[in-house]
Amino acid sequence: MASDCEPALNQAEGRNPTLERYLGALREAKNDSEQFAALLLVTKAVKAGDIDAKTRRRIFDAVGFTFPNRLLTTKEAPDGCPDHVLRALGVALLACFCSDPELAAHPQVLNKIPILNTFLTARGDPDDAARRSMIDDTYQCLTAVAGTTRGPRHLIAGGTVSALCQAYLGHGYGFDQALALLVGLLAAAETQCWKEAEPDLLAVLRGLSEDFQKAEDASKFELCQLLPLFLPPTTVPPECLRDLQAGLARILGSKLSSWQRNPALKLAARLAHACGSDWIPAGSSGSKFLALLVNLACVEVRLALEETGTEVKEDVVTACYALMELGIQECTRCEQSLLKEPQKVQLVSIMKEAIGAVIHYLQQVGPEKQKEPFVFASVRILGAWLAEETSSLRKEVCQLLPFLVRYAKTLYEEAEEANDLSQQVATLAISPTTPGPTWPGDALRLLLPGWCHLTVEDGPREILIKEGAPSLLCKYFLQQWELTSPGHDTSVLPDSVEIGLQTCCHIFLNLVVTAPGLIKRDACFTSLMNTLMTSLPALVQQQGRLLLAANVATLGLLMARLLSTSPALQGTPASRGFFGAAILFLSQSHVARATPGSDQAVLALSPDYEGIWADLQELWFLGMQAFTGCVPLLPWLAPAALRSRWPQELLQLLGSVSPNSVKPEMVAAYQGVLVELARANRLCREAMRLQAGEETASHYRMAALEQCLSEP
């Protein structure tokens, strides 16, 4: 009775009668031989057609993991049965189970990863159908595991990346599946892949690069899409760069459709991001190739952005931005540039038109799009252009400035609310790949160099002030400064943080000189002054941060002249600490250095100052001038300088070196400080006289100082 009802029940449930019969035999098997035979039949039935999730689960319930585990690990096969047949059966069952995502993530599957890896590189008859089937099933298992949430991490830890690399390089059966799975793992966990298997991945990159350089058919376009994923986070091998450049030169030098050209532009952009221009050979061929790259990128940007209403391929245009940025860098490079002067002039003209298209696009951006990564990328390339060129497109740039200020403010405030400062300072490089869900909001860092140039000009500066840029910059500076303060690990901060702080100082210096009234009336500059005063004493003591200390000291001294009536500058501990640190910065720049064959020393730069004096000297001279201006405004400053012994030591230094070794501008700077100190305080005059001040003034023809010291 039951047997009569069973076929009808199976039919009603959509079950496969043959498979049900085999499963019954499997459940009733009394020994390994019977179970093995039943498993062969079950496997055959499973491969004969598709099965649904319920059926797969029923097979698993009937088989479990125990017997497949034995099949995969057994070293003794029955007589007349090849070794790999048992393993093939075990893998086939696992492949069936892995079709269920829940089972693919099961520990009993995950712990088979090392065994499965060995099947990818095992030697054997390439024409053996059973072996080929086992390899296919192995890839099915690994691919299923990779599709689970934590699968990529388990595969990488289990050595699958190296196994896949070896399988691909061996070009045996299934090597194309190895490459596809590698691509998936790199896309999911690039950093971990390279950390675990860098030598093997580099070997794959060498193979792909060589194939790319030799390819004459459509495969070269497919390789363009694959190769960006295989570029390492560290150094790309030189031989790979040569092959990649040669392959790209052939592709981009041909007449192409957009679907052929775009992957090549994206690959070139990734190389530019990873290597700058180092991957492009020197000489005529390299300069022509670079000019072609930038030209194509500019054309693509204009086509995409000038036509209102057309769909923008954001990944392609973003890649073109990276190539334009490379062009900007090469056009502004004075030494060892790949480009000749006529090429630079031509490319600047072409890039100007493309930047005009970027400005046109940004003018159309509404509030709803301001958080989109492509807008950020567009602001970045505009910032890179403005950092080097502000005279062209001046009208268009001025019209866009209100948007740029609002945009930077929006991203800054949202990032601040999220308290995600580490991401704000993270280096955001243009990449043709799709950005992640979290997009760092440090747009201000990208705009700082351009704004530094623009604050020198009356028109742009008035717009920036009107739109509230100075207040925003003060807040940004104070926030970024917090990242460098005690309690934060400055070793993990990118250089862009300190460079950004220095650029902010330059902008504030421009405002001090060109808009002193703004400094006096805007409360944000009072807060800035307080931060400068409390920070400089520790900063001047830190190794390797002299340039930032110079910026802070000079800016603070210039602001102190304008804010001299502020209670914070009336001899408070903070103000005394600041001026003491400023004196330390100004006084330690030069030393007396003995010269061979001469009894008299010469004035020379201190070791710490010598290597960066080209960047430092303007700040130093400006700082000396600003300190001189502060002395008559702050009565307590001259006695404080005397207690620091700066005037005495300065005269002692000048007395110990040959006057001929001291340049006229140095003499003028030193005299300015000494004269103001002498005029401001009687004790200073007496101390200078005791230090042979009048004689030294005479030797250096410091008439003003000599006259001041001769008076009572």
Q: Which residue has the tokens 């000297």?
A: 617
Task: Summarize the confidence of residues 658-682 as an average pLDDT.
Answer: 95
| Number of other CB atoms surrounding residue 185 within 10 Å | 23
Written as six digits, the tokens of 341 are 């002067």
Q: Is 339 exposed, middle or buried (0-12, 13-18, 19+ CB in 10 A)?
A: buried
| Distance in angstroms (rounded) separating the CA atoms of residues 93 and 133 | 12
Rank 174-183, 414-423, 430-439 by mean pLDDT and report only the highest: 174-183
Q: Which of 55-64, 467-476, 654-663 has the lowest mean pLDDT?
A: 55-64
The single-letter code of the amino acid at 272 is A
**At residue 145, does pLDDT exceed 90?**
yes
| Distance in angstroms (rounded) separating the CA atoms of residues 210 and 205 | 8
Q: Is the dihedral of CA 59, 64, 69, 75 positive or negative?
A: negative
What's residue 707's pLDDT?
93
Rounded to 5 degrees, φ, ψ at 685 are -60, -45
Count Cα neighbours of 631 within 13 Å in the Cβ-side half-sphere: 23
Please list, residue by residue across 425-442, b when 16 or more beta carbons sit within 10 angstroms of its beta carbon and e when fewer do: bbebebbbbebeeebbbb
| Interaxial angle between packed helices 17-27 and 53-63, expressed in degrees from 0 to 180 and rounded to the nearest 10 | 20
Q: What is the pTM of this model?
A: 0.84
Task: Summarize the confidence of residues 414-437 as an average pLDDT.
Answer: 39
Residue 78 vs residues 37, 65, 311: alpha-carbon distances, Å: 12, 21, 64
What's residue 23's pLDDT?
67
The H-assigned helical ranges of 540-610 are 546-562, 573-587, 607-610
- Per residue in 517-534, pLDDT (tens digit) is 999 999 999 999 999 999
Pairing of β 602-605 and β 590-593: antiparallel
What's residue 60's pLDDT?
66
Of the pLDDT bands very low, low, confident and very high (cuts 50, 70, 90), residue 53 is low
| Distance in angstroms (rounded) separating the CA atoms of residues 73 and 66 | 11
- Per residue in 254-288, pLDDT (tens digit) is 888 888 899 999 999 999 988 889 999 988 999 99
- Per residue in 279-318, pLDDT (tens digit) is 999 889 999 999 999 999 999 999 999 876 667 888 899 9
Task: Summarize the confidence of residues 157-174 as an average pLDDT.
Answer: 94
**At residue 648, does pLDDT exceed 80?**
yes
3-state SS string over 159-177?
A: CHHHHHHHHHHHCCCCHHH
Residue % of the chain over a pLDDT of 90: 63
Nearest by Cα to 59 from 74, 73, 38: 38
The strand pairing partners of 603, in sequence order, are: 592
Residue 101 vs residues 140, 142, 149, 156, 468: alpha-carbon distances, Å: 12, 12, 10, 19, 54
**At residue 436, does pLDDT exceed 80?**
no
Within 8 A by CB and 6+ apart from 101, the residues are 144, 147, 148
Of the pLDDT bands very low, low, confident and very high (cuts 50, 70, 90), residue 423 is very low
Within 8 A by CB and 6+ apart from 422, the residues are none
- Residue 688 contacts residue 709 (beta carbons within 8 Å): yes
Of the pLDDT bands very low, low, confident and very high (cuts 50, 70, 90), residue 429 is very low
Is the pLDDT higher at 69 or at 220?
220
- Residue 130 contacts residue 83 (beta carbons within 8 Å): no
- Residue 98 contacts residue 151 (beta carbons within 8 Å): no
What's residue 685's pLDDT?
94
Count Cα neighbours of 672 within 13 Å in the Cβ-side half-sphere: 16
Of the pLDDT bands very low, low, confident and very high (cuts 50, 70, 90), residue 31 is low
- Per residue in 327-377, pLDDT (tens digit) is 999 999 888 888 989 999 999 999 999 999 999 999 998 888 888 888 999
H or E stretch at 590: strand 590-593
Report the mean per-residue pLDDT for the chain: 86
Residue length, the chain? Answer: 712
**DSSP, res 601:** B
**At residue 8, does pLDDT exceed 60?**
no
Residue % of the chain over a pLDDT of 70: 84
What's residue 622's pLDDT?
97
The strand pairing partners of 601, in sequence order, are: 657
**At residue 496, does pLDDT exceed 90?**
no
Q: Which residue has the tokens 């039943």?
A: 38
Of the pLDDT bands very low, low, confident and very high (cuts 50, 70, 90), residue 712 is confident
Task: Summarize the confidence of residues 685-691 as an average pLDDT.
Answer: 94
**At residue 449, does pLDDT exceed 90?**
yes
Q: Which residue has the tokens 């010469």?
A: 602
What's residue 1's pLDDT?
36
H or E stretch at 602: strand 602-605
**At residue 85, does pLDDT exceed 80?**
no
What's residue 490's pLDDT?
61
Nearest by Cα to 82 from 142, 133, 121, 22: 133
- Residue 45 contacts residue 92 (beta carbons within 8 Å): no
What's residue 48's pLDDT?
42
